[in-house]
Structure 1
Amino acid sequence: MDIKAKKLLALCFLAIFNAFPAAHALTLDDIKAKLEAAGYTQIREVPSGKIKTFIATRNGKVRSILVDSTGHIQELQ
């Protein structure tokens, strides 16, 4: 499966689960803290609607990341 297909699959997955948002959705600060705890640095949000998309660095590589309202992290690269 190529990268575009993986990204599309991940977006569809998160869109389905974000159709029913959690009662206590994470704030942007919560998400950034969770990403930092997972080893990401230089975290930047990419505007993309309801699904929180970020660009961050981990282990010296820039990565695209999706985070759902419950804090599940899905790395796209």
Structure 2
Amino acid sequence: MQKRKLFHLILALAIAGTAVPARAMTPDELIAKLQAAGYANVSDVKSTAEGITAKATKNGKPVRLVIDSSGQVKEQD
């Protein structure tokens, strides 16, 4: 019985060790990610209920961006 409890404890610790939450990007990392994706003039970066929002330009046109918790970037109209 002790071996079974020990096995479950080790299994739980192994699972907990792999379930590390994602680290949030710093503002500089976010801007670098957006610039690498072709966005320029990134400004007005805010944390909202939608995720992180920002204004930028792409191909000379202004865009509003929403970056979700997984880091996916979406353009909003």
TM range (shorter): 0.5 to 0.7
Seen in structure 2, the aligned counterparts of structure 1 residues 66 and 30 have a Cα distance that, compared at 3 Å, is same
Which digits, 9 at most, give the CA deviation of each residue in 1:29-58, with x for residues without a partner?
A: 111111000111100024353521001000
Relative contact order higher in (CA < 8 Å, ≥ 6 apart): 1
TM-score, structure 1 normalization = 0.62
Which has the higher Rg, Structure 1 or Structure 2? 2
Structure 1 CA distance for aligned equivalents of residues 57 and 48 of structure 2: 22
Structure 2 CA distance for aligned equivalents of residues 48 and 69 of structure 1: 11
Percent identity, please.
41
More strand by share: 2
Structure 2 CA distance for aligned equivalents of residues 32 and 46 of structure 1: 9
